[in-house]
A and B are shown apart, each in its own frame.
Chain A
């Protein structure tokens, strides 16, 4: 969460500067958003490095040479925390406003603002978690493909939200993306169809 916040800070700094530079005209929001995405991924990478070091430290300390927390768990936790803080930041002000008086969309915007925000946030939280797992796994095995796909996926998700008032165009693909990413993360974490079956049949 801390790393996400740091990356957010850097991104907003960048945006602020670019807004000041581009004059009083319309601020380059997509550019800022893209920069934010890239910085988030950078933050995730920094998180990975730090956790890897901590993992090594724990491993050398423990008696049998393995650390008590596996890298997978750390990946899950870090992805989850990224997702949680990102989701919180996205939604908490909206929630606070939704508790107050007012009408949604009175100025001609969509009246479904709140509920689509809720769904989008949920998708984003899940996506961050999956991305965390995939990212750490890819870094661990040094596969650039995984890294590229995570970054690409993130950019894609952000870009889709750009289309936002046309909710069919953005919500649908984002959910499909979430599902696919989830399956991929599951696969890279070592699960398979059989393990799901085993889990369900409570062996």
Chain B
């Protein structure tokens, strides 16, 4: 579908679904109070009442307690407990997200550092038609800004298209689209990647073996992502796909355009998620109204869902069965497709904390984790990979960007715990990352180099 300007390998489909959303899971996110505001009993009271109004399916016991919401003391004590658990779970979620983001970045950086292919300039995507080989700085800047505008408008168009499709319930079309894009990613890009890695390490491999390997890899990936599979395998595949996409971006985006695009995308993300008319927000709200998850496969989910039946002893044999998201028993339609889509929202499901079970109600505990869109993975990795590829200060800059992105992610998750609605995950991290990249590259690097040459430690 896309052709490039030079005859480099054909790349991915048009950045389909740059944005795909994460739905608020069926029950609207329970509004746990967290932070120090909860100490006011009055507010706790109000929140309890409000919570009683919202439909919280899984949390029967909490609902039972809410009925007795006339007791402020008990309310606030329980509230504290919930908050503490929320915070504890929050910390765990942060860690659960750190690991995949770190892994993705490590893969990208390792590839960039070792495989020459991804740092060679071999043409550009059709979305960035303006070349940056111009003699003057002003011209180059202008070209990169134009490239950015084109790219962002493509993204906006795709997002709006996706939202419209979703609104008019053309699920089959979306499904097919996602399957096609994941096919391309899993097979074609993996083939290219493997080819380049083998070339770098000068390993000979015959075509039949290659075919078998890629076929297995791709087929298992398709199944895992679109259907059912062990959670960790699915997470691994999603990470690999994000890394592949990020590598493609790093290779095919010209330098200045890449930085400007990163900045512009985080602004776009901010607006698309938070503005009332933003496409992403509309998508989330539509999904919430229809009470179904949005494309769970375009999102990295870090948790499992387990159901524990407590009413009868024999159902305990069912036990906590760790199922993947898709195996949700409520038969939701799952459009698990890998992302091509950059879902740029992250959302937390505050997990329902375990209550001491005194009544023999059927309890469903769902430990849900945080969900992060795959687009976020991709752009974080693009930032770090570009830092590794083009920074002359090499590892220092890469490290600094890495820490900056992780801290940004932490902050975003903190805000998420405070605001409890879908938030854009890109802006804070990318801002920190960009600041640190440019400052480390230009300011810190000469300093550290001089220090190191004198072997002076600070």
Which residues of A does B touch, CB under 8 Å?
Answer: 1-2, 5, 8-9, 11-13, 15-16, 27, 29-30, 32-33, 36-37, 40, 57-58, 60-63, 68, 85-86, 88-90, 92-94, 96, 113, 116-117, 120-121, 124, 157-158, 161-162, 164-165
Smallest CB–CB gap between B40 and chain A, Å?
Answer: 12
Given A32-B447, A61-B84, A96-B395, A158 and B407 touching (CB < 8 A)? Answer: no
Interface contact A12-B443, CB-CB below 8 Å: yes
How many chain B residues sit at the interface, stated as a range, is 35 or more
Interface contact B81-A63, CB-CB below 8 Å: yes
Given A27-B450, A61-B84, A63-B81, A36 and B458 touching (CB < 8 A)? Answer: yes
Interface contact A120-B455, CB-CB below 8 Å: yes
Question: Main secondary structure on chain A at its contact with chain B?
Answer: helix
Smallest CB–CB gap between A74 and chain B, Å?
Answer: 13
B 441-458 binary contact with A (CB < 8 Å = 1; else 0):
001101111111011111
Which residues of B does A touch, CB under 8 Å?
Answer: 34-36, 38-39, 77, 80-81, 83-84, 87-88, 393-396, 399-400, 403-404, 407, 436, 439-440, 443-444, 446-452, 454-458
Q: What are the residues of chain A within 8 A of B454 when measuring CB–CB?
A: 29, 162, 164
Q: What are the residues of chain B within 8 A of A9 when measuring CB–CB?
A: 436, 439-440, 443-444
A-B pair number, CB within 8 angstroms: 104
Smallest CB–CB gap between B279 and chain A, Å?
Answer: 33
| Docked pose: A37 CA to B456 CA in angstroms | 12
Q: What are the residues of chain A within 8 A of B457 when measuring CB–CB?
A: 90, 120-121, 124, 157-158, 161
Interface contact B80-A63, CB-CB below 8 Å: yes
Interface contact A158-B458, CB-CB below 8 Å: yes
Given A57-B36, A85-B399, A11 and B87 touching (CB < 8 A)? Answer: no
Q: What are the residues of chain B within 8 A of A12 when measuring CB–CB?
A: 443-444, 446-448
Q: Would you list 19 pairs from A and B whose C-beta atoms are within 8 A, ordered by A residue?
A: A5-B400, A9-B436, A12-B448, A29-B451, A30-B456, A32-B447, A58-B84, A60-B39, A61-B80, A85-B399, A85-B403, A88-B399, A90-B452, A93-B393, A93-B394, A93-B395, A124-B457, A161-B457, A162-B454
Interface contact A116-B455, CB-CB below 8 Å: yes
Q: What are the residues of chain A within 8 A of B449 when measuring CB–CB?
A: 93
Known: A93-B449, A162-B454. 6 other contacts (CB 8 A): A16-B447, A29-B450, A62-B84, A88-B399, A121-B457, A161-B456
| Docked pose: A94 CA to B394 CA in angstroms | 11
Interface contact B84-A161, CB-CB below 8 Å: no
Smallest CB–CB gap between A111 and chain B, Å?
Answer: 13
Q: What are the residues of chain A within 8 A of B458 when measuring CB–CB?
A: 11, 33, 36-37, 40, 86, 158
Smallest CB–CB gap between B84 and chain A, Å?
Answer: 5
Q: What are the residues of chain B within 8 A of A68 when measuring CB–CB?
A: 88
Which of B38, B407, B444 lies in contact with A2, CB distance below 8 A? B407
Q: What are the residues of chain A within 8 A of B440 when measuring CB–CB?
A: 9
Which of B36, B87, B444 lies in contact with A8, CB distance below 8 A? B444
| Docked pose: A71 CA to B88 CA in angstroms | 17
Smallest CB–CB gap between B444 and chain A, Å?
Answer: 4
- List 10 A-B pairs, minimum CB-CB distance, nearest first: A12-B447, A36-B458, A92-B395, A164-B455, A161-B457, A12-B444, A12-B443, A2-B407, A61-B84, A161-B456
Q: What are the residues of chain A within 8 A of B393 when measuring CB–CB?
A: 93
| Docked pose: A163 CA to B400 CA in angstroms | 28
Q: What are the residues of chain A within 8 A of B444 when measuring CB–CB?
A: 8-9, 12
Which of A1, A5, A62, A158 lies in contact with B456, CB distance below 8 A? A158
Smallest CB–CB gap between B390 and chain A, Å?
Answer: 16
Given A68-B88, A93-B394, A164-B455, A5 and B436 touching (CB < 8 A)? Answer: yes
| Docked pose: A31 CA to B60 CA in angstroms | 65
Interface contact A5-B455, CB-CB below 8 Å: no
Interface contact B455-A117, CB-CB below 8 Å: yes
Interface contact A5-B84, CB-CB below 8 Å: no
Interface contact A161-B455, CB-CB below 8 Å: yes
Smallest CB–CB gap between A43 and chain B, Å?
Answer: 12
Interface contact A162-B456, CB-CB below 8 Å: yes
B81: nearest residue on chain A (CB-CB)?
Answer: A63
Q: What are the residues of chain A within 8 A of B451 when measuring CB–CB?
A: 29, 33
Given A124-B457, A161-B455, A89 and B447 touching (CB < 8 A)? Answer: no
B458: nearest residue on chain A (CB-CB)?
Answer: A36
| Docked pose: A32 CA to B400 CA in angstroms | 20
| Docked pose: A12 CA to B445 CA in angstroms | 8
